[in-house]
Structure 1
Amino acid sequence: MGVQGLRLFIESSNRNDLRSWAFRDSRLIIDGSNLYYTLYFDCNLDQMHGGDYDAFEETVILFFENLRDCDIHPYVVLDDGADHTDKKWDTVKKRKQEKINAAFALSAGKRAKVLPILIQTVFTQLLHKLEIPIIQCLGEADCEIAALAKRFNCPVLSNDSDFYLFNFTAGFLPITHFLWKNVEVNRRTNRKFIQAKHFTVGKFCESFRMNPKLLPVLATILDNDYVKLHNIKSLGWEKYSMPETEHTQIHGMLNWLSQFPGPDEAVSALLELTSNEEKTLIQEELSQRIKEYKLISGYLAQFFQSKTIPQTASTGPLHVLPEWTLSLLLEGKMSSSIIDALVHQRVSLTVQVEDFQLPCSSETSRPIRQVIYGLLLLGEEDTADKLELAIKPLTGTRKNFVEEYCRHQLKLSSQKVEAIKTSVTEGLQLETLWKEPHNVRLQVLLETLGVSSEILREIQPDLQLQLFVTRYWLVNAQPPPSQVHLWGLLLGMVFGQFSSTPKKQKDMLLNLKKLQTGRKRISLDHETAHLYSQWQSCLKWSLCLNHLLCCPVSEPEVARLYRGKLVHQVVEELRRGITLHSLLVRGSSTELLFKQLKEAIVSLVGKDFIKKMRTGLEHRAAGKTERNYKGQNPPVDELNSCFGHLECKDIDDCEDDDDISGKRKTKSRDQKTENPEVSCTIRTRHKAKERNADHPSKNPRKEALSIP
């Protein structure tokens, strides 16, 4: 999790700890979690509207193409983010609260950093597609990454300051100083390279004439994720620093440590400086920390080379996991949340940008998780016996409950969620789940998402999961999605499907691309953000269930399914009255795909369901004071004028409609304010109450619509 202040000290202007390196022709161990975090934020991609996954994918592809051009051979290691020893749980909860605060800040139009919920899924899917070696650690990854770097004798690429403390020969390359976008050419050899900054523990410790084994003691003093040793940190280390030195506290600590031959002597001296009450705690803490930075043999190299599951990967608390799940977990093809659910019976849910006056968007997907928990916890007796030994008991918690941590308004909270069995999952056992017939595993997924097996043959396989999830979302989301939210989501899928087509075919997306790039900033509608956050949560957990069931349906390319700014803007433009004719080229493959997606959704939920949905045009209609829809239905042709022609087998030209839509777009541009900044309004509780009282879900007749 990093050592507080160490990176700033090493990178300070008056030091020479980072050496320039024209890096090429080498293996490279990449801290995958750190890489996708850095790439997403460094490339200024969308956070407020749920993420721009295809733009992120383009960035990742370019990164690995540039490595290949320089003959750099990457090995990507993902940290599953779990602490199976339970020592850092308080720190994890603190950081989860910080993420809630950041998401709320973004929802209010302020600056913050929140990764989109599906970013790791997009990253791992892409690496498998590119055939980049990848492994997901079953626990914290730092020690394993360092061990792999020692085994392969190559550097580590990360921004985690913990790697300034591991003493492996090939050293550490901070991502911040890894200039991967600017591939350079050596004029003498004509070979390409990437300019980087290189750090080694050996050279760093030489500058202080210090034993490298003392660095873990420094890490414990500076920052500790288990117990905060405030008394040690405030012992006045500045007095050991040189005059006119930056970061005097760290400099003083290093000078003080350099007088000792090894960690045992330094620990004894520290104990002399502390009170008797803290001596035992500090001694245990320092001893544990020193062990953590000791290079181990590790299991990553074995898995990369032979794909066999190392024995050390399934020991301790993780022995409750069947071998077939370990393989998928190590390959990054299964969510590590199943480990948390099994080992600790708790799951920490991802925070999104949404309406913070409404319940957490993850609540919509809870029934999906309950089925997952049931498959994990309510299986055979042998598994239950293993859990009895492996799980640390939680007061008042039974084995058939999982404690979920998510937000309640603006605070991190938890609630116990029951693991359930259904008529289909009854009798299924985790140990042998992968051996079950395909139709059994498929039926579990279909029943969970509320889909009839008869509908399967009507939907092509590569579209099934995303449409099943959309059906589940339409039925379960609160507030209920409107028609424009549905059409916006489907148009986003169309854009994603064709955005990677050859250049000559991209004219089919011309109008959607204009819509996407026409305005630098768009307003954030909190209801739209909340609804799409619910959809993404439903997709995330449906993917997890599909993996646990060994993929009875094809896994979609997630980067093709959602582009946040685009779908938000489509919703906004549809509300303004823009026609579909101006977004999709008539008679093109994009329009035909939209028709296919629309017909599939209608077959999944029924025409009556679509008719009863809100149009989503209330925002426009609200300004027309002469209209009064009280007690009667609004005009049925407002949305049909946009989408009705898609029911026709023969599509006619609609030049007049295109001219009208062009005038509407011109009028919209004229009405835009000079300031393109994000426009956000946080509703008061009183206004939210008024909105809910008049919500169409309270009076379905009020917004009834018919479609062809």
Structure 2
Amino acid sequence: MHCVTMGVRGLKTYIESRNKNALRSLAFRDKKLLIDGCNLLYTMYFDYNLDEMHGGDYDAFEELITEFFKNLTACDIHPYVVFDGAADHTGKKWETIRQRKQDKINAALAVSEGKKEKVLPILIGNVFRQLLHKLKIPLVQCIEEADWEIAALAEEWNCPVLSNDSDFYIFNLKAGFLPITHFQWETVKQDRRTNKKFIQVKHFTVRKFCASFKMNTNLLPVFASILGNDYVKLQNIRCMNWAEHSVTDTPHPHIDGLLNWLSQFPGPEVAVSALLKTMSENDKAITIEALSKGIQEYKLFPGYLAKYFQLKMIPPITCKRLLQVLPQRTLMLILEGKMNSSIIDAVMNQRVLITSQVEDFQLPCSSEISRPIRQVIYGLLLLGEQRSTGTSKCYVEEYFRQQTKLSSQKVEGLQTMDGLQLKTLLEEPLSVRLQVLLDTLGVSSEMLRGIQPDLHLQIFVTRYWLVNAQPQPSQMHLWGLLLGMVYGKFSSTLKGQIDMLLGPKKLQTAGRRIDLEHETAHLYSQWQSCLKWSLSLNSLLCFPVSEPEIASLYSGTWLHQVVRELRRGRPLDSLLERGSSAERHFKQLKDVVESLVGENFIKRMRTGLGQRTVGNTHRDYNGHNQPIDELSSYFEHLMYEYDYEDDDDLNENLGKSKAKYHPDISCTIRTRHKSKARNANHPSKKYERSCFD
């Protein structure tokens, strides 16, 4: 299976600035279009300046992408979206991957300090794929890297590729390549003669590009292999001064020079022979191997995507370990984009790269809170295979930030008490699969009563976050999070705008720069990490609970502004209209969360006002002194009267749960029919989770 292409840094800029004849204007309509999903996501998020500092504005991204595909439909363009899967399993790119991971940590740190960088929110891929399913756009998540498969399908279907990846300047595609940078999708035009709508694009073909150098098109893969090889560092070739062959004034003279140098040869064999003449025998062997592999990666023949799109066939998979571990149902969920590609990394490589977030870099990595969830995932994935070999333990190497440096740690997979195996998971009753999810998130089956099914996952995750987050969330953080869920549910409808008085434009802080509150950022990064891995576990368990619409759960800029206003003393009744459906939904969410952790837990949470208090007062959002107790008056009218009393059992249970970060933790998840009897008089006595002990 081809999965490895290299790209050439600077080639896109070179072509756009120095070789404009290679890009010709085209009115594009009424054709299939293969879209590089990861590249489109990246380009759209950053080109439209969506939020990076506050954990992401998923609703704004969803609106943007919806409009994008609406305009494609208006022009009779038929999109097919292809995503990357796991990172390279051969190990040859590992050092490059590690360096990129460190670069992402550096970028997240820079954004947390108010600097300009590029950091994708942790759930953006989930939001994008979920939206594509909702819009009924055909998509596939490849098992490994997607570039070669995209190019192979484009050649087979004779349709262009939409991407900004420089690899597609190298693949010799009959129908060519459309750079996203020049894809004017926002302005749908109409042909005066035919009245048909189209999108103005710039179209690239290898044939036209090479013609400008009078160069054989087969030499372009040699060019890419010399300048873009991630596998064998061609030091001798790289040291050659290609710039001396440049004949134009360009910021990339090495690109121009190498293209001019190659153009003197009739084909790849003669060019490679010329390269080898000045090398030692040892260097020749390394160079020949590297170039031959690189050139091979750009040769196209039919791949597996056509059969997948047409027949939903699972492709032939070269990795035997993947076939041994993952059942057909799980493989299909991966291909459908309904499962995190980290699942493939965990199985193939026994390693997982944790996504970097904008958070408090003085605190431990925000992903530590979700490690026990991942441990259950690793156990389901790997322990069945381990038992067949006579071993009882499995480990996955997790790569994450420690302070500002990339670090790693072996994490043990956890076993469910009943020894559930992925291969036979579908044969298990729904109640058993549900109980694994509940046990992992610390929820008893009794707690399910009265909770709407469509609220299950978001509320379970919120409960898990409240109990396990460090530092402990304040009431402000919880109320802000629940208000965000209410806003997400109602803000997209006219009725919602009437019902809910607060919109982003009505906030005092809207429209001006806001410094990041690091504690708030860290806590919400922890919540997002919990949600991300709970979604993965839920899909691995074949969806015992329904998947929520992720974009409606978290709008980072809005949420941070709400918390800031609440902290400054803005009363809640200025955010929700009393008696409205928005207020009723907030009360429903509040009551459900309270039922899962207990009213005492909520009352014992810090208010979040301590750092701004002077005596018994703090400044409200108009700058006036206001008693702290008045800030909670609106919450109190939503709460039932409750006799406060200390709850030692809850304290003990919460204290135990904090121990779960220990890397050598060993525990067993109980399933429903093996659970012990609970004391029904108090929620906290109904459930004790042994893996948090």
Alpha-carbon offset, residue 278 of structure 1: 1.8
Q: Does 1:444 align with 2:444?
A: no
Q: Does 1:216 align with 2:210?
A: no
Q: Secondary structure at the match of 2:78?
A: strand
Aligned partner of 1:391 in structure 2 is: none
Measure, in 1, the Cα distance between the counterparts of 2:465 and 2:613: 26
Q: Does 1:493 align with 2:485?
A: yes
Report the more deviating stretch, 263-272 or 86-95. 263-272
Alpha-carbon offset, residue 279 of structure 1: 1.6
Q: Does 1:613 align with 2:605?
A: yes
Aligned partner of 2:173 in structure 1 is: 168
Measure, in 2, the Cα distance between the counterparts of 1:551 and 1:188: 51
1:137-175, CA deviations, whole angstroms, 9 ceiling, x for partnerless residues? 110101000011011110000000000010110000000
Q: 1:231 to 1:279 in 2, by over 3 A?
A: same
Q: Does 1:313 align with 2:305?
A: no
Tell me, yes or no, if the aligned pair for 2:29 and 2:198 is still in contact at 8 Å: yes
2:448 aligned residue (435, 452, 456): 456
Measure, in 1, the Cα distance between the counterparts of 2:506 and 2:120: 24
Q: Does 1:411 align with 2:405?
A: yes
Aligned partner of 2:275 in structure 1 is: 270
Alpha-carbon offset, residue 207 of structure 1: 1.9
Aligned partner of 1:658 in structure 2 is: none
Q: Which amino acid aligns with 1:264?
A: E
1:167-223, CA deviations, whole angstroms, 9 ceiling, x for partnerless residues? 110000000011111111111111111111000111111222222221111112212
1:193 aligned residue (186, 198, 221): 198
Q: Secondary structure at the match of 2:449?
A: helix
Measure, in 2, the Cα distance between the counterparts of 1:413 and 1:243: 44
Aligned partner of 2:103 in structure 1 is: 98
- Structure 1 portions without partners, runs of 5+: 389-397, 628-633, 650-696, 698-708
The within-5 A match list for 1:229-628 is 229-242=234-247, 244=249, 247-310=252-315, 312-313=316-317, 315-320=319-324, 321-380=326-385, 400-423=394-417, 426-501=418-493, 503-516=494-507, 519-520=510-511, 521-622=513-614
Q: Does 1:48 align with 2:49?
A: no
Measure, in 2, the Cα distance between the counterparts of 1:286 and 1:83: 19
Q: 1:14 to 1:143 in 2, by over 3 A?
A: closer
Alpha-carbon offset, residue 7 of structure 1: 1.0
Q: 1:12 to 1:449 in 2, by over 3 A?
A: same
Aligned partner of 2:644 in structure 1 is: none
Aligned partner of 1:84 in structure 2 is: 89
1:455-488, CA deviations, whole angstroms, 9 ceiling, x for partnerless residues? 1122100011000000000000000001000000
Alpha-carbon offset, residue 268 of structure 1: 1.8
1:349-392, CA deviations, whole angstroms, 9 ceiling, x for partnerless residues? 0000000000000000000000000101111568659xx9xxxx
Q: Which amino acid aligns with 1:186?
A: D
The within-5 A match list for 1:23-62 is 23-62=28-67
Q: Which amino acid aligns with 1:525?
A: E
Q: Which amino acid aligns with 2:293?
A: Q
Tell me, yes or no, if the aligned pair for 1:117 and 1:350 is still in contact at 8 Å: yes
Same amino acid, percent of matched pairs = 66
Aligned partner of 2:658 in structure 1 is: none
Q: 1:190 to 1:460 in 2, by over 3 A?
A: same
Alpha-carbon offset, residue 557 of structure 1: 0.4
Tell me, yes or no, if the aligned pair for 2:14 and 2:250 is still in contact at 8 Å: no
Count of residues paired in the alignment = 629
Measure, in 2, the Cα distance between the counterparts of 1:198 and 1:364: 47
Tell me, yes or no, if the aligned pair for 2:576 and 2:582 is still in contact at 8 Å: yes
Tell me, yes or no, if the aligned pair for 2:85 and 2:344 is still in contact at 8 Å: no
Measure, in 2, the Cα distance between the counterparts of 1:110 and 1:315: 42
Alpha-carbon offset, residue 29 of structure 1: 0.1
Alpha-carbon offset, residue 326 of structure 1: 0.9
CA RMSD of aligned residues (A): 2.2
User: Could you state the TM-score of these two structures normalised by the residue count of structure 1?
Assistant: 0.86
Measure, in 2, the Cα distance between the counterparts of 1:18 and 1:539: 43
Q: 1:79 to 1:156 in 2, by over 3 A?
A: same
1:549-606, CA deviations, whole angstroms, 9 ceiling, x for partnerless residues? 0000010000000010111111111111111110011111000000000000000000
1:611-652, CA deviations, whole angstroms, 9 ceiling, x for partnerless residues? 11111111331476999xxxxxx9883443131111379xxx
Q: Which amino acid aligns with 2:425?
A: L
Q: Secondary structure at the match of 2:502?
A: helix
Measure, in 2, the Cα distance between the counterparts of 1:155 and 1:340: 30
Q: 1:110 to 1:622 in 2, by over 3 A?
A: farther
Tell me, yes or no, if the aligned pair for 1:515 and 1:569 is still in contact at 8 Å: no
Measure, in 2, the Cα distance between the counterparts of 1:435 and 1:265: 60
Aligned partner of 1:675 in structure 2 is: none
2:125 aligned residue (120, 127, 150): 120
Structure 1 ranges of 4+ moved more than 4 A? 243-246, 314-317, 380-385, 622-627
Aligned partner of 1:205 in structure 2 is: 210
Measure, in 2, the Cα distance between the counterparts of 1:623 and 1:46: 36
Measure, in 1, the Cα distance between the counterparts of 2:25 and 2:138: 27
Q: Does 1:225 align with 2:216?
A: no
User: Could you state the TM-score of these two structures normalised by the residue count of structure 2?
Assistant: 0.87
Alpha-carbon offset, residue 277 of structure 1: 3.4
Tell me, yes or no, if the aligned pair for 1:528 and 1:568 is still in contact at 8 Å: yes
Measure, in 1, the Cα distance between the counterparts of 2:499 and 2:388: 53
Q: Secondary structure at the match of 1:45?
A: coil
- Structure 2 portions without partners, runs of 5+: 1-5, 620-625, 642-654, 656-693
